[in-house]
Amino acid sequence: MLLSMNEVVEVRMASWKAMVQERSASGLSIEEWCAANNVSESQYYYRLRQLRNTALAAAGQTSMEHTGGFMRVPFCPADPSSAVALRIRRADTVIEVSGDAPDNILAFLKAVMTDVV
């Protein structure tokens, strides 16, 4: 029985998908899994890229490799009812936690910050 080119691609993709799922379920890093399964990292990443590109094409999008440009991100002004309860600054990074965050998270963060200072 001869397979058409589409069938060959489908079989390969199914095999590669199983490989990626197996690696993910193993808990090993990509480097460790590849060494244990006699797969080069470049082969692994190639197959992963092919799976992603196929999934994107199936979703009606273009390949990630060929995208370039800008996407409009709508500006959403902050909700004044969720005022900042905690602000953490380090160099040029700022983390803000709103007042409507769960109390246990706010208490934990405040306790951690008290211990640090």
Q: Go through the chain and tell me how many residues it has.
A: 117
Q: What is the pLDDT of residues 28-41, one digit of tens each?
A: 999 999 999 999 99
Token readout for 82 is: 């969720």
- Residue 73 vs residue 49, higher pLDDT: 49
Q: Given its phi and psi angles, is residue 93 left (phi above 0), alpha (psi -120 to 50 degrees) or beta?
A: beta
Does the pLDDT of residue 57 top 60, yes or no? yes
Does the pLDDT of residue 67 top 70, yes or no? no
Count other Cβ atoms within 10 Å, centred on residue 44: 19
Residue 111's pLDDT is 76
Residue 42's pLDDT is 94
Strand partners, 80: none
Q: Which residues 6+ apart lie within 8 Å of 26 measured at CB? A: 33
Helix, strand, or coil (residue 49): helix
- Would you give the DSSP letter of residue 27? T
